[in-house]
Each structure stands twice: as structure tokens, then as C-alpha cells.
Structure 1
Amino acid sequence: MVNALLNFAIHRRKWVYWGLLLLTLAFVAQLPKIQIDTDPENMLNANNPERLFHNQAKTTFAMHDTIVVGVVNQHSIYNPQTLAALVDLTEYATGIDGVVQADLMSLANVDNITQAEPGTIRFEWMMKSAPTDLAGAKRIQAQAEKLPLLRNTLVSGDGKAAALYVPIVDKNQSYAIARDLKAHIATLASQDDWHITGLPVAEDRFGYEMFVQMGISAPLAGLTIFLLLWVFFRNVPFILPAMIVAMATVMITMGALIGMGFTVHIMSSMIAIFLMPIAVVDSVHILSEFADRHKPGQQASDTIRQVMGHLFTPMLFTSVTSTVGFLSLMLTPIPPVQVFGAFVGSGIMLAFLLTVIFVPAYLSGLSDKSLSRLLEKLPKEADSKLTPALRTLGKLAGSHAKLWLLGFAALFGLSVYGINMININDNPVRWFKSDHELRIADRVLNEHFAGTYDAFLVLSDTHNVNHKAIQAIANVAEDKQISEETRSWLRQQAEALEHNSNTLPALLLAVDDKSFELSDEYELDQLLAAQSTLEALSSQSKRFLSPSVLDYMSQLQLHLQDSGLVGKSNSLSDVVKTVNRELRSGNQTDFVLPESANGVAQTLLQYQSSHRPQDLWHFVTPDYRQSLIWLQLTSGDNQDMTGVVKLVEDYVQANPLPADMKLDWAGKAYLNVVWQQEMVAGMLDSLIGAFVMVLVMMVVLFRSLAFGILAMLPLTLTISLIYGLIGWIGKDYDMPIAVLSSLTLGLSVDFAIHFIERFRATWAEHKDWQTTLSLMFEEPARAISRNAIVIAMGFTPLLFAPLVPYITVGVFLASIMAISALVTLIMLPSLVSLLRPWLFKA
């Protein structure tokens, strides 16, 4: 195959040039179609049960993604100036396109609930207009602090902060809306500190900055690689084919991704920065050996044939193993990670094909005169600054083999211990640097309020009252004394209820209307009897009017509050207690649940006469068969959310749910836990699968189980060292770290393949251990070192990104390359030295 490719490249150079140009332009034309997606919800499959329930709960309880705006005054927000600014911003926010006006919430548009007289309740605006004096501000403070639904949600317990909750129609508009709010805040005559936060803002803001970063990091990586290659070879025309291959690979791959309709997620945004340095490595091997082998007067095509004869097989297998490492990401259940793995893996194979075709075509096309000038300007490989260092390293690696291996074994042991200390955790807000305005806002507002992170406990009645209602209707429909017309109507009603195309309340209305149409006394009596049964069933089905069920919710809320993991919780129980207090005496002693379902129903009927009656349906469904508890958390860390879930599980185990009741979770904080758990499990499967596949490939490549296992040892130690280091330094195992596991495997094995393949070829030629070892630390070691430096430095532009995941990837991939190259160049010679009689016994 290699000869066919070389013949095509050497004899059809114009075809190669024009073909690459047209192919690149065709895919570049797809780039303007780019669509950005930073929603962590899309880390889960569309049919994921937890995701489906979350979206169903949002619809059921009319919940929206929310931007949180906070105003902080170091003395007190209860002053005319601060409250006037809050009213102004609230009014402005209601006019922003994309804001759900009815559910927007601040002191300026909520009710104060008070007693008019015993048994009568009054709802009046808390602050329709700002107070003009300090006394008016203090009056608002007293009113707000008396209402549990507002305290530590809309106003802080310390009186120094107030919040505006801005629900939005589409979370993809959150950054634009937040920017609009920020611009208006700048026009307010306010000396207070204003902050904007919330997961939707963080996610959408990340998308904006990710797009900017993608446009900066990839070109910077290309520039860094170009400068490194120039340092190595000191000749621009000579390194030009490597840069052309890298840039073409990136543009074709990204064009294919976008052209096929995939959105650019946080993962796929890093495809360019990954491919740029990886696409150069094969070219570096070819250029290094070409510079080492070519002699004046020799045909460039002859030299390139010699070079490719030595390098084609190891380059092919290193490309395939790297591809396998990335493609193994498709084993994870996370769609954006699957897309990332698929396209980087495909891009690596594309880079290999372009390298083995374009680079030989380019080099063989150079005239003897041009080539002579190039070679004159090229620094002598023996004079390279790497050469003396590598020769010294070779001497060290070839001696004291047992001591080296004991040291590696000790490092492995320490790494395993560090791996056991790894802490699995993530939080989208922490994807920004600590001094980013979003991180500051998150920190400040969560210090003052009960929490800006939401999770929802949804309780549902599972008792099938419809079955009994259908039976009651069916019994009447079977009565032969009733007319066929009425019986047919009853059967239609039962069928509609059975297929959920009707509801029990709607059926009751239909039966009531039908009773006025009947003239036969017997039919009317039977229908009224059925109506009475249906009314009883309807009353029984309204489980969340039951004081005992509401009390269970209250006790669960108290348990969560006492744990310290939950800043605050709100539920239907709090609404009922608040209204009941004002109906009775207005004193805190009456902040209790009514003793009967009718008493609960009375409080809710009163609540619906407020200015915001729709707020009730955020806590309970109109049929009173589902209700939720809104949890406010001061931390968006997955570890904290997992602790809350465990806390609820333990409570329910010790205090079983009411009969025929089930509990489910919803909310962004909970969904983040779900996708991270799937990612961790998926990455483990991916790593194990890729490890086995690469091991098999190594055995096939070297036609030896011993050499196959030998090639896997450097990458095993590299992976262990990197993840042990993560445990030792206390870095959270988050999304970028999880993805790096499989990438480490694919990239780390490349150096071992080149080293072992070249070592065996050199040994076969010279049959002398010292000569072989000495030659291995010349051109082969230089090529490996250069590739490690190129890839490591290629990721350094990420270190200057404002986004933590990019920095994490840059630091760890640079470390992976440096460590894997060093381990390969020391461990393999040491092992081969000890196992030489066995490995080379033939």
C-alpha cells in the first residue's frame, strides 16, 4: 500500500495539491453554518428518563429557567434609593422580550399577606412604588421578613440584599437578557453592588466565551507549532508541508462536523485545538528522518521512499491507536463526548492520509537546487540542542536498570494511592475563573441568600382513581332500564377517561350537564348516584389537600433545613400555613396546617384571590395530585447535590412516604449530577475498552505478546501518574478530566510504538546492544522528543483562556505528553536491558 501511495504522491503532485485545496475549500464553506450549544442538559440523551421527567415537571408546574439579579448594600437595602432602583429594574425587566412577565418576582411585584379581620385576609402589593422615606422602607422590611416564602429568597435574612428573579422563555437568550439588564443597571442612580448569576446565564455566557476562545486558541496553537518547527529546522519552506497538513485537517474536520448538522458543544469546540498539534506529529517524524538521511546529489524521491519505508508502519499504528483512544469515547452515554471522539478520531486518520500523500509530494517536488539550499540552511541534526541531552539520557537509561524500575514501581504505588483520593465533582459556574464576574456574583449572592441553585422534589399520587370512576360509570351503563342513548353516552365518557382524553373533574361537569337533559326519573336517580360516587372519588384524589400529606412535606423540609445542605425549601405547605396564620390571628402561633382537607382548600381558595394566583400552580397541579418542594442550594457542586439526594433517600427509608405516593427529582442541579455519573461510568468503560483494543493492536503490530505488553507499560504509568497527581493536589474529577482518560491512552502509546519499532529494526541491523542503544538516542529519540514538545506546546495557548475547562485540558495534556515521552525514553530501555535475553532470544 505504501508504494502505491508514494507513486501517486510523487508522480501526481498537481493532483495532490489541487485535490487538497478543493477538498479544504468545500468543507470551509460549511463553517458559516455553525451553531453553538452549551446546555449541560444536552450531555444526556434526549430519551434519558431523568431528563424526560425534568422537562415534564417544568411543563406541569410552569417552571422556567431563571436569571437571578441581586442588589447588595453593606448597611441595608431597606432605604428609599435602593428600593427605588429595584422597582425601576423590575419594571424594565418586564418589558424585555423573552422574559416571562407573569412569573417575574421581586419585592416590587409580590403581595403582602395580612389579616383584614378575623376570618378575612388581605392581599396588597408589597411595594408597587418605592417608599419615599426611611420609615416606609422599614415598614416593607417588617412585612417581607414575616413572609417565609420571601425571606432568604427575595430578601436576605441580614437585610443587606434583595433579589429579582427573571424567568425566561428560552435559556439560549439568557446571556443577551443578562447583558440588557446589566446595561440598564449602569443607568440607575444607585451606589449599591449589583450582581447577575444563575445556571442559565453561566451556561449561555460560557457559549459566548467558548466561541471567542475557539477563534483565538486554534490560531495561537498553529502559531506556536510553527515557531517550534522553525526552532527545530530553521527553514520555513521545509516546515511548510507540516503546517499545511495541520491546517487542512482542522478545517476539513470542523467543516464536516458543522456541515453534518452537529452543534458545537464545549467538547467539540476543542476539536481544533486537539487536532492542530496531533496532525503535525507524523510530519515531524518524516522531516526529522529526511533531514537526517538526505545527502547532496541524492534524488529527493529516493530519500522519501527510504524514509517512508522506515516510518509508514509505526506512523500507521500510532495514528490508529490514537484514533482508537478517541473513538472509544463513543462508548460513553454522553452525546457531545461521542461527537468529540468521533470527529477527533476521524481527524487523526485524515491527518495521517494527508501526511503520507502531501508531505512526500511536496518534498519530492523540490528541485535539486532548492533542496541543496534548504539542506545548507538546515541545522545539523548532531548539532541540535536536544542531541547532547538525549545522549546523556540514553546512557542513564541503559544503566542502573533495576534502580530505574524500582523508582517507577514506587511512583506507580504513589499514583494508585492518589487515584483513591480523587474527588468526583463538577459545577458549570466553576468553569469560569475565580475572578470572573459570574463567579463573584455566585459567591456574593449565595453568601446572602438561601441559594441561587434549584432542585425540585416532585411528589405524585399513584392511586388510580380513574379506574374506580370508570367502573362507577360502567355499572350505570349496564343497566337495561336506562335508554340506549344514555348508556351509549356513558360508555363514551368511560372510554375517554380510560384513554386519558378526559379528566375526572371534566367528567363531573359533563355528568352534571347531562342530568339536566334527562326527563326519566329512574335514569336521573341512577346518574345522580353515579355523580355522588364520582364526587367522593374526586375529593379522595386530591391528596395534596390532606393535612397529613402536607405535614409529611413539612417534616421533610425541616429535616433538610437542619442538615445544612439545603439553604431553604418552599412548598405548598408553606403557602397553606402562611394564609392560615392570617385567617386566624396573624400571630406566629397560628403558623400551622388546618386540621381538615376543607380547611386546606379554604386557605388555597383565599390565596387565589391574590394578585399572583398563578403562583399556586408552581407548587401543585390543579387536580391536587402532584406537588413539589422547591429546594434552594448555596452550592451548585454535584457532590453537594448528591449529598441532598442521599439525605432524602435516608429520610424516606426511615419515614416511608404516604400510601400510594412516589417521589422524583427535577431541576438543573440534579440533572448535572445525572450526566456526570453517566460520564464517569462511561469513561471507565471507554478506558477499559480502549486499553484492551490497543493491547491487541500492539501484539498484532509487533507479532509478539511480550513486545505488546512492553508497549503498554509507559502509557499505564503515565495514566496512573496523571490521575494520581489529580488526587494528590485535590483537583476535582470533572468533565474535562474525565475525557482526558481515553485521550491519554491514545496519545501516550504513540511514543512507545515508535521506540520499539525503531529499536527492533536497529537491533536487526547491528546485532549489538550498545550500538543499538546509542543509535536509538539519536534521530529516533530526537523525533519523539520533538513530537512531545510540539504537542505539549501546541496546547499552551489554552493556559491563557478565561475558561477553566480549557486551562485544565492545556495543563494536563501538556503534562501527559512530557511525562509519556520521558517515561518511554527511560522505562523502555531499562526494561529491554533487563529482558534482553528473553526478548531477543531468536
Structure 2
Amino acid sequence: MRDGEFLDRYKWWIIGLSAVITLFFAAWLPKLKIDPDVTTMIPTDMEARINTDTINSMFGGTEMVILLFRDNDVLKPATLVRVRKIIREVKQLDGVTRTMSLFDAKNIRGEEGTIVVDPAVPEIPQTPVEIEKLRKSLLSNDGVKDVVLTPDCSMTAVYATIAEKADPNQVVKEIEKVVNNNPGKAKVFFGGMPVLMEKISMYINRDISILMPVAILLMILMLYGFFRQFRGVLLPLLVVAMTIVVTMGMIPVMGWKMTIITVLLPVMMIAIANNYGIHLVALYQELNAEGKCHSRKKLVGMIFHRLYRPVLLTGLTTVAGILGLLSHVLIPAKQLGVLAALGVAFALMMSLLLIPAIMLLLKMPPPKLAKGNGKKHFLEHRLEVVARGVVRHPKRVILGFVILFLVSGVGILFLKVDANVENFFPKKNPVRVSADLINKHFGGSEAVSVWFTGDCKDPALLNRLDRYAKNLKMEPDVGHVISLADVVKEMSKAVYDPGEAYYNRIPAGRNAIAQLFELYNMGGDPEDFEQIVDFDYRNTQMLVRVNSGSTAVINDVVHRIRKLTQNDPAFAGIGGYGYINARLSGLIIQGQKRSLALAVIVVALLVMLIFRSFRSGIFISVPLTGAMIILFGLMGYAHIYLDTATAMLSSIMIGVGVDYTIHFLWRYRLEKASGKSYEDAVYTTITTTGRGITFNAFSVMVGFMALLISSFTPIRFFGFLVVVSIASCLAGAMVLVPALILQFKPVFLEENQRSAGRKKRLIMKRKEPALEY
């Protein structure tokens, strides 16, 4: 059965089955949920995540919403009344376990041999004298100054700890509602990891609703500009729309959620899924020239026969490259690899089956006649210039690329890795402004927890904690260190007089330490310490606040902690969300290496099978490797971090970029088999197939340009870098590869005489103009 007959006989089955599959996944779209929590990116068996979960279960959650109140003087009665009212209402929220603020801080003092615990702000001052008295008292309190109050009293902080099983997004919204219901002169800033996560969730929704329409609009303009026919726009876009529905529906079907990484998925499908349909429509127009065909069935059959093999092979290499993400350590990266690969496979099948089936139902358009003025299209003219340059100067071309690769390679030395969540947002974004204020004035919003086990009233352990804290406070990026040793020293100041041996020191005996806690419990609340020690005093944590979200900085602090505690028998582990985010950097590097290696190997093996030559795999790796060197070198020179988004680039670039080289080599081999010289075969390939390759590449670049208006800085960089990487792959396929062919004349592109004669007869028999493949 001929191709045209097969498609004509089963066209309604193809259309119906395609619709059923799409509708099935569309029914799942309402169940799609968003997960903004970056900690879920890390595998559950990672040390950082296990320790953090254990620490949270013992000491309660460590995720905090931080409110900053800024005024010329936050100790004014009106501001203090407002802050107190907001704190009281926040404490009533179900998802908040505790707060830390001016009104929660304690003033510990001694009185007649006992410890008296008073509120740091016993009452709202009403007169200037009372305000100054309060100011002096607060600034002399180590638990207040630089912790919840700046030295100039222009800002005060309120920390609200979220319950372990509460929904952080919902708690943030409720706190925002409380603040909005209590307006005042002091400006309020929202910070902390839960706020970052809530804003990520909000901006993911925004990106989905904005980026897809923008990308589709750009694609429509691109397609119409190329084909000048509505069917040339609608057929590829139909495949794109169905692919987006299917891939997005797969997320809830597989029990997954939308993350900041999978937000790339719809734009990827818009940019990639139309590629295969473009080739079919382009060939349809070319064969529909006047006098070329007499029936739709014959026309569609010729298109399918001529394109199914090269399109299928390039589609498989794209799938193989994207599946390189399966070796990535980050969970959402693996999910993106699966979803994108399945989406490309679905788009490939729809392009090869659904588009021809619909073509059989549409009335054939009037033939597109060539223009009579003899003028060449701008692209055709530029391709001829490129072809002449490559044919005349292949050695110069290769030398130019080698120099470019060497210069780019130097830039890789400056490439840095950073998974700082704060950098997801532009510098002027309110979330980023709040984070900068917290880092600068309140010790930072990132916390690293150091867990110790043993007798927490043992003076030896407490003295070690005190020594660790003093060492860490000397680090310029450490804002605050809070431990049980600080509590004991503060209580000792209330019991002992200045000049006595144990004033502001750890008592020498365990009984003396236990007595301090008993005295405190008589005048204070034992739950004041529940965040740093458990009920039985067998487990304690030291909280290290870092005033920078940079993963490099946090890793340095963690390294310092490990060095200090390496011989401590009570040391049990390190956790905290700051540590989790820092571990992402290592996972990004590890995942980048794995996915890159897997993508290159799998694609190279596929190319070896396609061309039945081991050397073909090595040959095709040259432009891909060069494009990666240019990409990472540019990132180094431009100070663009390798982060959770940009780490996806290499696999995507390999999967998409290899298509252009395969298209070129496929057509070149046919031209060479027809008896042409190396130079003529290269020239013809660049000026014919080069047109389709160039348009294909530009369609991908235009689709990804929509990412430039994303709410997230890494996604914007991702969009820009995709354009650069695809342009590099295009240059490699259209300039470097033909130059290498002319210089080295690879044997795997030479056909045997029988095959050459057969292909020559086939080409001579055809009366159509040169086709895309």
C-alpha cells in the first residue's frame, strides 16, 4: 500500500485518535498544581534534607515569615501600637507556632538571688522621656539589638515561625491580610523563605498565562512571514497546541506538580514542536508549484515518503538529547526531561500523521508562482555568500572557529554556580529588596542548623558551643549565631555580679547550670527555649544566620562548621533550608556533568546508527562541543550563574541543535551521491537545505525569546542563552561542518557506486526543484 493510500484510508482514524488523546489529557489540566518549594528539588535521601526534616521534628519548623517595619523612629507610640496589634493577630493564625519581636523579647535580670524575666517592652511609651528610656533599655539588650531592632531604631523585625504541617503559601497570604487590615505610616517589607516560595508560586501562574500567548504570537508572525498562507500557520500551531495540552496534562497524570523548572515546558513545546510540521508545509508548498502535482493524495504521499525518514531521525535525536536530563540529580530536571521527550515524540507523530491527514481534507491552494522580477530573497542571497566563503576558504573558517572556541574556553574559568533563591527575582522586585534589607540589617534570612546530641547541661558541651559561636561570628558573612550557650551566659549575668567568676560565662558544674534553668523557669516560660533545645535536654541546635543567600557563601560557612566540629562527639549533623539551597549548587554541577555526558553519548550513538559509521558520531560531536564551549564561555564572561534553570541548557541544546547537522549531512550525502564534487555538493546543500535549516533554527529562537519577559531572572537568562546556543549550533552546521567536510573529506559521507548510481537516477528522474532533504 502506497503512503498516500494508507493516509487517505485511515485519515479519519488518525484525526479521531489524535483528538481522543488530546481530550484525555485536557481533562487532567484542572488538577494541575504548583509546587514552589525548592527543597522538593532535592532527592529525599540527601543528607541535607534528612537532617533538616529531623531537626524540624525535634525543634519545630524553622521556616519564618519576616516582617520589617521601617520608619524614621519605630519606637513612636503609634508605630509600636500597630506592630503589637499585628503581632497579636498573627499569633492567632493556625499556621503560626511562635513569633519573635520587640514584644516577645525578654529582659533577664537578677533580683535577690533569683532570675526575673520581664518583657523587653513592658508597656507602650507615651512621652519623649519614656521613649528614650525604652530606647536605652532595648539597645543594651543583646537579644534585641541587631536581632529585632536596628541601632538607629529605624527598623524593627517580626519573625513568625510557620507550623511544620501548615501550608506556607496560605500562611503568607493570611499574614499579608493582617498587615493590610492594619495600615500605618511605617512601610512594611515581607521576607523569608515562605514569602519567596509564595511569590514564586504567584509568578509561575503569571508566566504560564503570559509566556504562552506571547510565544504563540511570535510563532504565528514567524510562520506567516515564511509561508504567506494561513494553513502554513494553522497546521504547525495545531500540533503545538495539542502537544502543550498533552504534556501539561501528563504532569498531574504522573502525580507531579508544576515547578519553576517545568514552567519551561510549554515554551519549549512551542519552540520545538512546530519544527517537524514546518518541513511538511514547506515541501507541500514547493511541490504545489504549477504543474507539479494533480491530486491531494499523490501530493501528500510524496511529502510523507520524502520526509518521514529524515524527520523521524532528527526527532529521535532530539528526544535522545533531552532524555539526557534523566541522569540529572534534581528531581524536576528529570521530570522535565521525561515530559519534554514525550512531548517531542507526540509532536513528531502528529506532524507525520495528523498534518498529512488534514492536508487530505483541505482544498489545494492556488500554486505559489515564482516572482517575475528575478530578485532573490534576502536569505537566499546571504546563504550564497556563506556558501562561497566556505567553499573558497575552508581552512580560514576552521581557524576562525578554533580561535572562537579558545577565547570562549577561557570564559569558562569565570563560570560560577549559584542556587540562591533570592536571585530568582530582579534587583528592584519587592521580594529582592526585602531580602537585601534582612541580610544587611538583621543577620540574614538564610539559616544553617547545627545539631548536637548528648547532655545539653554538660558544661563541656556548652563551652564548645560557645567557642564555635565565637569563631563563626568572626566570619564576615555570618550575621547571628544563637545557641543554648548564649542562653546560659545571659542567665548567668542575672545571677552573678560583674567581676564574679561566672558572670557572662558557662558555670563549671552541671548542677550550677541546671539551677540556672530552674531559676529561669520560676520567673519565665520554659517554652522560650524550645527552638534550640528539646524537652529532655538531650538534643540542641545552634542556629547560624548567614547575611547572604549566595550558595558559595553558605558553603564556606558550612565548611567552617565542619572543620570546627570534626572531632566533637556530640555533633550529629547539619541542616536548615540555607544548607539545602547551598547543596543545590553541588547537585547542579553533578547533574550538569551527568546529563551532558549522557546526551552527547546517546546522540552520538544514534548518529553512528543513522550513518552506519563510528566516525560520524565523533564528527557530529565537534559542532555540538564547540557550541557548548561558546555557551558556557559567554556565561562566564557575562557573569551569568549556572543555576537551576540554566543547568537545563546543555541537554536541550544538544537535542535541538544536532538536528541541523543531521539535516545538512543527509542532504550533502545525496548531493555527493549524484556525482557532484565536494565543493559543488557543499554549495548546493548550503543554498537549498540551508534555507530550511535556517528557518527552523530561527523559529526555535523566536519561540524561546518569549522567556525574556519572564518574572524570574534565571528564566530570562535561559531564554537569552537558548537563542545564543541555537545560533551557535546553526553556525556550526552551516559553516563549520561544511568546512570540515571540505578539509577532511570524511569517508562515511561517501556512498558506494551502486547506491550512488541509484540515487543519481532518482534525482535525475525528478523534475521538481531541489528539495529540503
Provide the C-alpha distance between the structure 1 equivalents of 2:237 and 2:746, rounded to a whole number of angstroms. Answer: 43
The aligned residue for residue 520 of structure 2 is 607
Q: Tell me the TM-score normalised to structure 2 length.
A: 0.92
- Aligned partner of 2:26: which letter? V
Match of 1:311 in 2: 307
CA distance in 2, matches of 1:568, 1:216: 41
Residue 476 of structure 2 corresponds to 564
Q: Note the alpha carbon deviations across 1:447-481, whole angstroms, 9 max, x for none.
A: 211222111111123xxxxxxxxxxxxxxxxxxxx
The equivalent residue for 1:142 is 136
Aligned-partner SS, 1:109: coil
Cα distance, 1:803 vs structure 2: 1.3
Given the alignment, which residue of 19, 28, 36 partners 1:38?
A: 36
Is the CA contact 1:69–1:164 (under 8 Å) kept in the aligned structure 2? yes
Q: Which moved more, 1:785-794 or 1:264-273?
A: 264-273
Pairing 1:742–2:651 present = yes
Could you say what secondary structure the match of 2:189 adopts?
Answer: strand
Q: CA deviation at 1:128?
A: 5.1
What SS does the aligned partner of 1:630 have?
Answer: strand
* Whole-Å separation in 2 of the counterparts to 1:16 and 1:54: 52
Aligned to 2:486: 574
Gaps of 5+ in 2: 753-773
Q: Are the aligned partners of 2:48 and 2:579 in contact in 1 as well (CA < 8 Å)?
A: no
SS in 1 for 2:621: helix
1:427 corresponds to 2:340: no
Greater helix content: 1
Match of 2:108, SS state, is strand
Equivalent pair of 1:234/1:378 in contact (CA under 8 Å) = no
Conserved? CA contact 1:84–1:129, under 8 Å: no
Quote the offset at 1:159 in angstroms.
Answer: 2.9
Q: CA deviation at 1:383?
A: 4.4
Q: Which residues of structure 1 form unaligned runs of 5+? A: 462-542
Q: Give yes or no for contact 1:459–1:628 (8 Å, CA) kept in 2.
A: yes
Give the Cα–Cα distance (whole angstroms) in 1 for the partners of residues 281 and 370 of structure 2: 14
* CA-CA distance at 1:770 after TM superposition: 4.1
Match of 1:621 in 2: 534
Change (3 A) 1:837 1:43: closer
* 2:53 paired residue number: 55
1:758 is displaced (CA, Å) by 1.0
Superposed displacement of residue 630, structure 1: 0.7
Contact 1:112 1:124 in 2 (8 A): yes
Secondary structure at 1:224's aligned position in 2? helix
How far apart are the structure 2 equivalents of 1:345 and 1:195? 42
1:14 offset after TM fit, Å?
2.1
State the distance in 1 between where 2:535 and 2:75 align. Answer: 37
Give the letter for the 1:729 counterpart: A
**Residues 794/815 of structure 1: CA separation in 2 closer, same or farther (3 Å cut):** same
Cα drift, residue 197 of structure 1: 0.4
Query: Using the alignment, how far apart are the partners of 1:380 and 1:270 within structure 2?
Result: 44
Which string of whole-angstrom CA distances, capped at 9 and with x for unpartnered residues, describes residues 578-619 of structure 1? 111011237898211112111111111222245542122221
Residue 341 (1) aligns with residue 341 (2):
no
Distance 1:838 1:27, change over 3 A: closer
The aligned residue for residue 118 of structure 2 is 124
CA 1:840–1:230 in 2, change beyond 3 Å: closer, same or farther? closer
Measured in 1, the distance between the counterparts of 2:371 and 2:509 equals 93
Q: 1:161 to 1:216 in 2, by over 3 A?
A: same
- For the residues of structure 2 that align with 1:217 and 1:322, how far apart are their CA atoms? 23
| Greater Cα radius of gyration, structure 1 or 2 | 1
**Aligned AA for 1:292?**
E
Q: Report the residue type matching 1:826 in the other structure.
A: V
Deviations 1:16-59 (A, max 9, x none): 22222222112111100111111111112223333122111111
Report how far residue 227 of structure 1 moved: 1.1
1:99 counterpart letter in structure 2: V
| 1:259 pairs with 2:248 | no
Cα deviation per residue 1:394-415 (whole Å; 9 max; x = unaligned)?
A: 1112221111111111111122
Structure 1 pair 549/326, CA: closer, same or farther in 2 (3 Å)?
same
Seen in structure 2, the aligned counterparts of structure 1 residues 191 and 839 have a Cα distance that, compared at 3 Å, is same
Give the aligned partner of residue 65 of structure 2. 67
AA aligned opposite 1:619: I
Residue identity over aligned pairs, in percent, reads 23
* Secondary structure of residue in 2 paired with 1:805: helix
Offset of residue 7 of structure 1: 4.2
SS at match of 1:567: strand
Which AA in structure 1 matches 2:426? Answer: K
2:96 aligned counterpart, secondary structure: coil
Give the aligned residue type for 1:65. E
Is 1:632 aligned with 2:545?
yes
**Cα RMSD over matched residues?**
2.3
2:160 aligns with one of 163, 166, 191? 166
Change (3 A) 1:377 1:173: farther
Distance in 2 between residues matched to 1:378 and 1:157, nearest whole Å: 77
- Within the candidate set 695, 699, 702, 1:790 is matched to 699
1:81-160 equivalent positions in 2, closer than 5 A: 81-100=78-97, 103-117=98-112, 119-127=113-121, 129-160=123-154
CA displacement at 1:63 relative to structure 2: 2.9
Residues 788-811 of structure 1: CA distance to partner in whole angstroms, max 9, x if unpaired? 111101011111122113212211
- 1:605-754 correspondence to structure 2 within 5 Å: 605-652=518-565, 656-657=567-568, 660-754=569-663
Matching residue's letter, 1:814: V
Q: CA deviation at 1:766?
A: 4.1
Per-residue CA distance 1:787-838 (angstroms, 9 max, x = gap): 1111101011111122113212211112211221122111011111112375
Measured in 1, the distance between the counterparts of 2:227 and 2:166 equals 48
State the alpha-carbon separation in 2 of the partners of residues 355 and 379 from structure 1: 33
Give, as a single letter, the amino acid of the residue that structure 2 aligns with 1:395. Answer: R
Aligned to 2:763: none
Q: What is aligned with 1:811?
A: 720
Q: Is the 1:149–1:575 contact (alpha carbons within 8 Å) kept by the matching residues of 2? A: no
What is the SS of the residue equivalent to 1:708? helix
| Aligned mates of 2:596, 2:263 — CA distance in 1 | 22
- Picking from 454, 463, 475, the partner of 2:447 is 454
Q: Check 1:380–1:434 CA distance in 2 against 1; reply closer, same or farther (3 A cut).
A: farther
Q: Quickly say closer, same or farther: Cα 1:305–1:104, change in 2 above 3 A.
A: same
* Distance apart, 1:95 and its partner CA: 2.6
Q: Is the 8 A contact 1:38 1:265 kept in 2?
A: yes
Secondary structure in 2 aligned to 1:576? helix
Letter of the structure 2 residue corresponding to residue 66 of structure 1: M
Match of 1:356 in 2: 352
User: Could you tell me how far apart the structure 1 residues matched to 2:276 and 2:443 are?
Assistant: 55
Distance 1:336 1:640, change over 3 A: same
Aligned equivalents of 1:227 and 1:380: distance in 2? 26
Question: Residue in 2 aligned with 1:229?
Answer: 223
Shift of 1:151: 2.7
Compared with structure 1, are the counterparts of its residues 816 and 552 closer, same or farther at alpha carbon in structure 2 (3 Å cutoff)?
Answer: same
SS of match in other structure, 2:323: helix
Instruction: State the AA in 2 paired with 1:836.
Output: K
SS at match of 1:104: strand
Equivalent residue for 1:481?
Answer: none
Q: Closer, same or farther in 2 for the Cα pair 1:318/1:608, shift >3 Å?
A: farther
Corresponding residue number in structure 2 for 1:331:
327
2:371 & 2:41 partners in 1: Cα distance? 49
Residue equivalent to 1:270: 264
When residues 381 and 287 of structure 1 are mapped into structure 2, their CA distance, relative to the original with a 3 A threshold, is: farther
Match of 2:766 in 1: none
What is the rounded CA distance, in whole Å, between the counterparts of 2:322 and 2:522 in structure 1?
A: 59
Deviation for aligned residue 1:378: 10
Retained in 2: the 8 A contact 1:69–1:197?
yes
Shift of 1:647: 1.4
Report the equivalent of 1:525. Answer: none
Supply the AA of the counterpart residue of 2:85: D
Cα pair distance change 1:381/1:411, threshold 3 Å? farther
- 1:731-768 CA-partner distances (Å, limit 9, x unpaired): 11111111212111111111001110111112212423
